[in-house]
């Protein structure tokens, strides 16, 4: 077999640095379509340097990654249809638990809370994050470097510390924890904005680094005010960065447990916190069903965001 | 002479550690094609950006039609610019790019449409109106940048190295196209370039800049044939330069003793004194194999190098004293190659009228 000849081995070693690229390539190729011609031609042709789909060990790594990443999620989704309370042995197909999850008032409330928090926190942190990024890029001011460092700090500070700090902070200033919905979520939203906006700022900043300053000057030269330049030239350029940053903030906020756990008032339960309390009794398919819905929402949001980004990316 | 459209008075722009533009005064006339020429870092782009309002001068004034512009922001100046990178907005179509300057200044929609149509037609861009800039060639992007600036009907159009991003063939073509455009729109063009051929072929007048200062402002032929300084003579075209000392006058003639070419009498009126530089262009040297009958200035020498360029040949001649003379010979007939070979004994003659005396 050509795979075992010394020359082929040398190619393998040379190309091992491209393993990551290879994975991405194979991920696009439909395995069923390519495996059979590859097998019949193996005796004739040596493996070409770019024919990643003909390397068995790459298939192994690719397969393992897929299994480790997606098998748990797929089994979670599959067992949401399991007709059993125990959730260990497959007992038959049912959609009962979706109905039950829907009708579980406290689970439904936690779910609505989480989505509300995520949406509000995303909007606020996208605005703040983008403003901070533009400010850091556009202006020179004293203590700019320390400010930039401090701004990014919430990314590295352990979540548990953030959580405790937030708890103490809200207690000290007697922030009202109750109130009518959605006021009872205000503490959580503030906490989420605090750890989400640096991510937005970093993504937007990276995008700004590739901005041609002559575009801004051209806009001013053509008669636009600074605000018009920002609105018609800089913001459209930033759109992919804003979408990516917002998506990041949305997912971070939606699944945050630690900080939320510390800042949540007694009657402000979010989805992750609710799941945690349910799992402490038993993992029922109801939990699986609710989680599946959450995964679907995130995936749909991601697809939507990628679609939104695609045309402006082509324009660059 | 008409009144200047732009009057630059004692403009200085200092950046930390360097004076990019150092006390420059210039008058630019109505409907003139004016070029700012100089090596990179001479301050020409900074000067242009100050006219556009993108830089604020450290001191001095810029008058447009007699009004000081220094405190007027770029969006309020009736001046538009074509940027070196063209700065075409990537997220807008060609038509949207061209309409941008009208849209942001509140021109009514009913007026924008026809004006954009007209501008697209003049720039031969109608068939590309709905394309995005990434689907255009460099030449097409430049036409968008030009149309976008001209639709604003500015009093002055600034062009920052507009041809440097184009390939050689297109560059030659755009040179004459820009010159024609300037005549047809009838406004003042100010172009910044480091390419002397570009400046010489397009501009009505050229300001040669070096180290933040203007060396000479003159029409192209004056700049080439009567450079004011050694820098200008050396920067524009090729030139033979020799150090010399003024010995005195002999009637109308200035007698100079050169370093390597002996003592020469030159028909120069200006009273030069002390150390000077004499300069002569290579194409004004005549090279012959036989001693000419009559010539006022004549040197014998040996050909040391011949470079063939098709339309012309460069011949380097070394005199017995070791001085090098570069001559440029036009290959005006279809002889094979050039008449001269290395080691040929030749005579180099020149008309004293063609020799320049420059203050050192």
Residue B259 pLDDT grade (very low, low, confident, very high; cuts 50, 70, 90): confident
CB A274 within 8 A of CB A110: yes
Q: What is the ipTM of this complex?
A: 0.83
pLDDT of A9 > 80? The answer is no
pLDDT of A132 > 90? The answer is yes
How far away is chain A from the Cα of B297, in angstroms, using its nearest Cα?
54
Cα–Cα distance for residue pair A292/A74, rounded to 1 Å = 9
Q: Looking at the domain assignment, is residue A88 inside a domain?
A: no
CB within 8 Å of A11: residues ≥ 6 apart? A47, A49
| Residue B141 in tokens | 């992007």
User: What is the structure's pLDDT at B337?
Assistant: 56
Q: Which residues of A touch B54 (CB under 8 A)?
A: 217, 220-221
Neighbours of B337 (CB within 10 A): 10
Cα–Cα distance for residue pair B323/B297, rounded to 1 Å = 15
Instruction: Tell me how far apart the terminal alpha carbons of chain A are, to the nearest angstrom.
Output: 46
User: What is the structure's pLDDT at B56?
Assistant: 92
C-alpha torsion A50→A54→A59→A62, nearest 10: 20
Bridge partners of residue A93, in order along the sequence: A82
User: What is the structure's pLDDT at A12?
Assistant: 44
Per the listing, tokens 């439904």 go with: A108
> Looking at the structure, do residues A163 and A243 belong to the same domain, yes or no?
yes
Cα–Cα distance for residue pair B230/B275, rounded to 1 Å = 13
Return the residue of A nearest to B74 by Cα. Answer: A221
pLDDT of A50 > 50? The answer is yes
Question: Which of B85, B132, B152 minimises the CB distance to A222?
Answer: B152
Q: How many domains does chain A have?
A: 2
Cα–Cα distance for residue pair A59/A64, rounded to 1 Å = 8
Indicate which CATH number applies to the domain containing A142: 1.10.3720.10
Cα–Cα distance for residue pair B189/A179, rounded to 1 Å = 67
Between B76-85, B165-174, B188-197, the lowest mean confidence (pLDDT) is in: B165-174
Between A110-114, B105-109, B206-210, B257-261, the lowest mean confidence (pLDDT) is in: B257-261
> Looking at the structure, do residues A246 and A183 belong to the same domain, yes or no?
yes
| Residue A156 in tokens | 């590295």
Q: Looking at the domain assignment, is residue A287 inside a domain?
A: yes
Q: Looking at the domain assignment, is residue A93 inside a domain?
A: no
Q: Which residues of A touch B152 (CB under 8 A)?
A: 222-223
Question: Which of A217, A225, A233 minimises the CB distance to B89?
Answer: A233
Higher pLDDT, A38 or A116: A116
> Looking at the structure, do residues A52 and A117 belong to the same domain, yes or no?
no
User: What is the structure's pLDDT at B165?
Assistant: 80
| Residue A56 in tokens | 């068995």
Q: Looking at the domain assignment, is residue A86 inside a domain?
A: no
Q: Looking at the domain assignment, is residue A85 inside a domain?
A: no
For every residue of A128-162, which 3-state class applies, written as one string?
HHHHHHHHHHHCCCCCHHHHHHHHHHHHHCCHHHH
Cα–Cα distance for residue pair B13/A211, rounded to 1 Å = 26
**Mean pLDDT score of chain B, rounded to an integer?**
89
Cα–Cα distance for residue pair A204/A137, rounded to 1 Å = 10
**Of A24, A48, A79, which residue constitutes the final position of a domain?**
A79
Q: In what order do the strands lie in the sheet with B312-318?
A: B286-288, B345-350, B297-308, B312-318, B324-330
Q: Interior CA angle at A137 toward A133 and A143, to 5°?
A: 90
pLDDT of A185 > 90? The answer is no
- Is A218–B87 a contact, with Cβ atoms under 8 angstroms apart? yes
Average pLDDT over residues A51-64: 84
Cα–Cα distance for residue pair B227/B231, rounded to 1 Å = 8
- Is B91–A236 a contact, with Cβ atoms under 8 angstroms apart? yes
Instruction: Tell me how far apart the terminal alpha carbons of chain B are, to the nearest angstrom.
Output: 33
Q: Which residues of A touch B75 (CB under 8 A)?
A: 220-225
Q: Which residues of B touch A232 (CB under 8 A)?
A: 100, 104
Sign of torsion over alpha carbons B217, B223, B229, B235:
positive
- Is B54–A312 a contact, with Cβ atoms under 8 angstroms apart? no
* B139 CB-contact burial (10 Å; exposed 0-12 / middle 13-18 / buried 19+): middle
CB A53 within 8 A of CB A38: yes
Read off the pLDDT of residues A238-285 as tens digits, 9 standing for 90 and up.
998 999 899 989 989 988 999 999 888 777 889 898 888 888 887 788
| β-strand pairing of B33-37 with B205-210 | parallel
Return the residue of B nearest to A237 by Cα. Answer: B91
Q: Which residues of A touch B133 (CB under 8 A)?
A: 315
pLDDT of A316 > 60? The answer is no
CB A184 within 8 A of CB A268: yes
Average pLDDT over residues B30-39: 93
- Is B75–A222 a contact, with Cβ atoms under 8 angstroms apart? yes
Average pLDDT over residues B124-152: 91
Residue A87 pLDDT grade (very low, low, confident, very high; cuts 50, 70, 90): low
Please count the CA atoms within 13 angstroms of the CA of A227 that sit on its side-chain side.
1
> Looking at the structure, do residues A164 and A218 belong to the same domain, yes or no?
yes
Domains with residue ranges and CATH for chain B:
4-234 (3.40.50.300), 238-359 (2.40.50.140)
Residue A201 pLDDT grade (very low, low, confident, very high; cuts 50, 70, 90): very high
CB B331 within 8 A of CB B311: yes
pLDDT of B229 > 80? The answer is yes
- Top residue of B83, B84, B104, B132 to mutate, by most chain A CBs within 10 Å, is B104
- Is A314–B134 a contact, with Cβ atoms under 8 angstroms apart? yes
User: What is the structure's pLDDT at A315?
Assistant: 40
pLDDT of A5 > 80? The answer is no
- Is A315–B91 a contact, with Cβ atoms under 8 angstroms apart? yes
**Of A51, A79, A107, which residue constitutes the final position of a domain?**
A79
Q: Does B54 touch chain A (CB under 8 A)?
A: yes
Respond yes or no on whether the N-terminal peptide bond of residue B40 is cis (omega within 30° of 0).
no
pLDDT of A16 > 70? The answer is no
> Looking at the structure, do residues A238 and A299 belong to the same domain, yes or no?
yes
Residue A90 pLDDT grade (very low, low, confident, very high; cuts 50, 70, 90): confident
How far away is chain B from the Cα of A252, in angstroms, using its nearest Cα?
30
Question: Which of A214, A222, A312 minimises the CB distance to B101?
Answer: A222
> Looking at the structure, do residues A186 and A242 belong to the same domain, yes or no?
yes
- Is A225–B104 a contact, with Cβ atoms under 8 angstroms apart? yes
- Top residue of B83, B97, B131, B159 to mutate, by most chain A CBs within 10 Å, is B83
Higher pLDDT, B196 or A88: B196
Task: Give the number of beta-carbon pairs within 8 Å between A and B.
Answer: 75
**Domain ranges, residue A61:** 2-79
Between A85-89, B193-197, B239-243, B316-320, the lowest mean confidence (pLDDT) is in: A85-89
Question: Which of A215, A236, A314 minimises the CB distance to B87?
Answer: A215
> Looking at the structure, do residues A66 and A135 belong to the same domain, yes or no?
no
Name the packing angle between helices A285-315 and A271-281 (round to 10°).
Answer: 150
Q: Looking at the domain assignment, is residue A186 inside a domain?
A: yes
User: What is the structure's pLDDT at A10?
Assistant: 42
Q: Looking at the domain assignment, is residue A158 inside a domain?
A: yes
User: What is the structure's pLDDT at A311?
Assistant: 53
Name the packing angle between helices A96-103 and A285-315 (round to 10°).
Answer: 90
Q: Looking at the domain assignment, is residue A90 inside a domain?
A: no
- Residue B53's alpha-carbon distances to A192, B61, B168, in angstroms, are 43, 12, 31
How far away is chain B from the Cα of A311, in angstroms, using its nearest Cα?
9
> Looking at the structure, do residues A127 and A258 belong to the same domain, yes or no?
yes
- Residue A242's alpha-carbon distances to A202, A238, B147, in angstroms, are 10, 6, 32
Question: Which of B54, B101, B134 minimises the CB distance to A223?
Answer: B101
CB B151 within 8 A of CB B101: yes
| Residue B309 in tokens | 């360029």
CA-based Rg of chain A, rounded to a whole angstrom? 25
Q: Helix, strand, or coil here: A225?
A: coil
Q: Does B52 touch chain A (CB under 8 A)?
A: yes
Q: Helix, strand, or coil here: A298?
A: helix
For every residue of chain B, which 3-state class applies, written as one string?
CCCEEEEEEEEEEEECCEEEEEEEEEEEECCCEEEEECCCCCCHHHHHHHHHCCCCCCEEEEEECCEECCCCCHHHCCEEEECCCCCCCCCCCHHHHHHHHHHCCCCCHHHHHHHHHHHHHHCCCHHHCCCCHHHCCHHHHHHHHHHHHHCCCCCEEEEECCCCCCCHHHHHHHHHHHHHHHHHHCCEEEEEECCHHHHHHHCCEEEEEECCEEEEEECHHHHHHCCCCHHHHHHCCCCEEEEEEEEEEECCEEEEEECCCCEEEECCCCCCCCEEEEEECHHHCEEECCCCCCCCEEEEEEEEEEEECCCEEEEEEECCCCCEEEEEEECCCCCCCCCCCCCCEEEEEECHHHCEEEEC
**pTM of the entire structure?**
0.77
Cα–Cα distance for residue pair B356/B358, rounded to 1 Å = 6
How far away is chain A from the Cα of B148, in angstroms, using its nearest Cα?
8
Higher pLDDT, A302 or B105: B105
**Mean pLDDT score of chain A, rounded to an integer?**
81
Percent of chain B with pLDDT over 90: 55
Residue B293 pLDDT grade (very low, low, confident, very high; cuts 50, 70, 90): confident
CB within 8 Å of B120: residues ≥ 6 apart? B94, B95, B98, B126, B129, B147
Bridge partners of residue B81, in order along the sequence: B158
Residue B262 pLDDT grade (very low, low, confident, very high; cuts 50, 70, 90): confident
Q: Among the ranges A215-229, B269-283, B297-311, which has the highest mean pLDDT value?
A: A215-229
Residues from A contacting B (CB-CB < 8 Å) are 212, 214-215, 217-225, 228, 232-233, 236-237, 239, 312, 314-316
> Looking at the structure, do residues A72 and A169 belong to the same domain, yes or no?
no
Average pLDDT over residues B30-38: 93
> Looking at the structure, do residues A34 and A70 belong to the same domain, yes or no?
yes
| Residue A6 in tokens | 């010394």
Residue B215 pLDDT grade (very low, low, confident, very high; cuts 50, 70, 90): very high
Q: Which residues of B touch A233 (CB under 8 A)?
A: 89
- Widest CA span in chain A: 77
User: What is the structure's pLDDT at B114?
Assistant: 94
- Nearest-CA neighbor of A199 among A235, A238, A151, A162? A151
Return the residue of B nearest to A214 by Cα. Answer: B87
Name the packing angle between helices A105-138 and A271-281 (round to 10°).
Answer: 140
> Looking at the structure, do residues A59 and A104 belong to the same domain, yes or no?
no
Q: In what order do the strands lie in the sheet with B275-280?
A: B263-266, B253-258, B240-250, B275-280, B356-359
> Looking at the structure, do residues A161 and A308 belong to the same domain, yes or no?
yes
Cα–Cα distance for residue pair B356/B216, rounded to 1 Å = 16
């Amino acid at each position: 077999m050509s795979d075992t000849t010394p020359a082929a081995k040398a190619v393998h070693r040379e190309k091992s640095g491209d393993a990551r690229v290879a994975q991405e390539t194979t991920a696009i190729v439909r395995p069923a379509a390519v495996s059979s011609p590859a097998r019949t031609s193996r005796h004739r042709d040596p493996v070409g340097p770019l024919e990643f789909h003909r390397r068995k060990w790459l298939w192994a790594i690719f397969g393992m990654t897929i299994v480790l990443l997606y098998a748990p999620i797929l089994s979670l989704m599959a067992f949401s249809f399991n007709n059993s309370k125990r959730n260990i042995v497959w007992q038959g197909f049912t959609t009962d638990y979706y109905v039950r999850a829907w009708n579980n008032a406290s689970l439904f409330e936690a779910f609505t809370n989480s989505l509300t928090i995520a949406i509000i926190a995303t909007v606020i942190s996208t605005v703040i994050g983008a403003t901070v990024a533009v400010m850091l890029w556009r202006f020179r001011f004293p203590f700019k470097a320390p400010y930039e460092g401090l701004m990014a700090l919430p990314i590295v500070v352990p979540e548990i510390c953030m959580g405790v700090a937030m708890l103490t902070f809200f207690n000290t200033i007697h922030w009202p924890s109750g109130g009518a919905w959605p006021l009872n979520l205000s503490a959580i939203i503030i906490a989420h904005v605090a750890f989400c906006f640096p991510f937005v700022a970093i993504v937007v900043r990276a995008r700004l680094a590739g901005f041609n300053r002559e575009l801004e000057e051209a806009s001013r030269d053509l008669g636009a005010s600074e605000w018009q330049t920002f609105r018609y030239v800089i913001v459209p350029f930033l759109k992919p960065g804003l979408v990516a940053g917002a998506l990041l903030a949305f997912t971070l906020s939606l699944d945050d447990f630690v900080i939320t756990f510390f800042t949540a008032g007694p009657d402000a339960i979010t989805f992750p916190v609710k799941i945690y309390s349910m799992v402490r009794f038993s993992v029922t398919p109801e939990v699986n069903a609710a989680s599946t819905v959450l995964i679907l929402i995130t995936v749909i949001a991601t697809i939507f965001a990628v679609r939104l980004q695609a045309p402006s990316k082509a324009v660059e | 002479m008409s009144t200047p459209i732009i009057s630059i008075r004692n403009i200085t722009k200092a950046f930390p550690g360097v004076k990019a533009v150092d006390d420059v005064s210039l008058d630019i006339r109505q409907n003139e094609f004016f070029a700012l020429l100089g090596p990179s870092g001479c301050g020409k782009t900074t000067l242009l950006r100050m006219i556009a309002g993108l830089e604020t001068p450290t001191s001095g004034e810029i008058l447009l039609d007699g009004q000081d512009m220094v405190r007027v922001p770029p969006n309020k100046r009736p001046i538009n610019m074509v940027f070196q990178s063209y700065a075409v907005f990537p997220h807008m179509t060609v038509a949207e790019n061209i309409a941008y300057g009208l849209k942001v200044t509140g021109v009514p929609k009913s007026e924008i449409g026809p004006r954009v149509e007209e501008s697209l037609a003049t720039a031969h861009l109608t068939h590309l109106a709905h394309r995005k800039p990434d689907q255009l060639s460099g030449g097409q992007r430049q036409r968008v940048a030009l149309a976008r600036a001209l639709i604003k009907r500015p009093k002055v159009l600034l062009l920052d190295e507009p041809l440097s991003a184009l390939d050689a063939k297109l560059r030659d073509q755009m040179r004459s196209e820009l010159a024609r455009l300037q005549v047809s729109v009838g406004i003042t063009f100010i172009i910044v370039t480091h390419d002397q051929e570009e400046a010489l072929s397009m501009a009505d007048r050229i300001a040669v800049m070096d180290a933040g200062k203007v060396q000479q402002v003159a029409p192209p032929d004056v700049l080439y044939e009567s450079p004011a300084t050694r820098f200008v003579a050396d920067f524009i075209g090729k030139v033979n330069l020799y150090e010399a000392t003024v010995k005195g006058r002999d009637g109308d003639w200035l007698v100079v003793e050169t370093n390597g070419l002996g003592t020469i009498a030159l028909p120069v009126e200006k009273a030069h004194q002390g150390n000077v530089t004499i300069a002569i262009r290579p194409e004004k040297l005549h090279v012959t194999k036989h001693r000419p009958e009559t010539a006022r200035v004549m040197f014998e020498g040996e050909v040391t190098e011949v470079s063939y360029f098709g339309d012309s040949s460069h011949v380097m001649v070394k005199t017995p004293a070791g001085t090098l003379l570069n001559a440029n010979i036009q290959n005006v007939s279809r002889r094979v190659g050039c008449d001269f070979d290395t080691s040929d004994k030749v005579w180099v003659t020149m008309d004293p009228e063609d020799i320049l005396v420059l203050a050192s």
